Amino acid sequence: MVANRMTPEELESFLAERIGGAEWRPGYKLPTERALAEQYGLARNTIRRILDRLVEQGKIVRHVGRGTFVAGRSTPPNGVANLGDVDVSPAEVMELRMIIEPGSVELAVVRATPSDLDFLDQCLERSERAKTWQEFEKWDAALHARLVRATRNHMLEMIFGVIDQVRERGEGGKLKQASLTEERRASYQREHRRIVDAVRRRDTEAARKLVTDHLQHVRRNLLGY
């Protein structure tokens, strides 16, 4: 028996309202897909799509073998420290990105789904329409995160999630804001389009080179080398 039948749109709106509220604070574990499907009278694949959209919006995080949690600093992956009090420099963040992202895009080329490509297109369009640097940065970060997610490698996704935690605050954010001229933003957008195009063409070599060149460009603008 269905306790509270809802349409997909109603359930997504309901979950979004509950997330971060008085009861569903950061770290709260959501019911399983099966439990949500049974409670609200929807198919599990519908529930999965709703949760995927909430992940893309940064409202929840999903850890394999552990469950789905309201996003926040209280839900770091197993074995990964909360980096809120760790002194990590922008140079260290760029070094790690230079190691991880060129290799991960090779997997993304092979494994990206039509849904991944659609979302990457959305990131391109939203970043190009952005009116503020914060909005541009949001969709810039979402594009890079989706390229990693498209690898379907959960360890890579967790590691990149930690990188995103650090990128969002501290000195790195200030440097990004200070360095993001209109000319540089336009250049980043062109580079992003070339990267997504290479992924769509399934061109591994081109995608790796384009990501490497893009990160080197970002590093020069941020750090001067």
Q: CA 225, CA 217: separation in Å to the nearest integer?
A: 9
What single-letter amino acid sits at 219? R
Domain extent, residue 111, equals 83-223
Average pLDDT over residues 48-57: 88
Residues 114 and 57 in one domain: no
Question: Which pLDDT tens digit goes with each residue over 112-150?
Answer: 999 889 999 999 999 999 998 888 988 998 899 999 989
The neighbour count for residue 5, using CB atoms within 10 Å, is 11
* Whether the predicted model's global pTM rises above the 0.75 cut: no
Same domain, residue pair 219 and 189: yes
Query: Phi and psi at residue 184, in whole multiples of 5°?
Result: -70, -40
CATH of the domain at 18: 1.10.10.10
Looking at the structure of the chain, the number of domains it has is: 2
173 and 198 share a domain?
yes
**Residue 1 reports pLDDT greater than 80:** no
Out of 70, 94, 122, a domain closes at 70
Residue 1 lies in a domain: no
Q: Report d(CA 33, CA 42) in Å as an integer.
A: 10
Give the domain CATH number at 157.
1.20.120.530
Residue 77 included in any domain: no
What the block records as the tokens of 61 is 């995080």
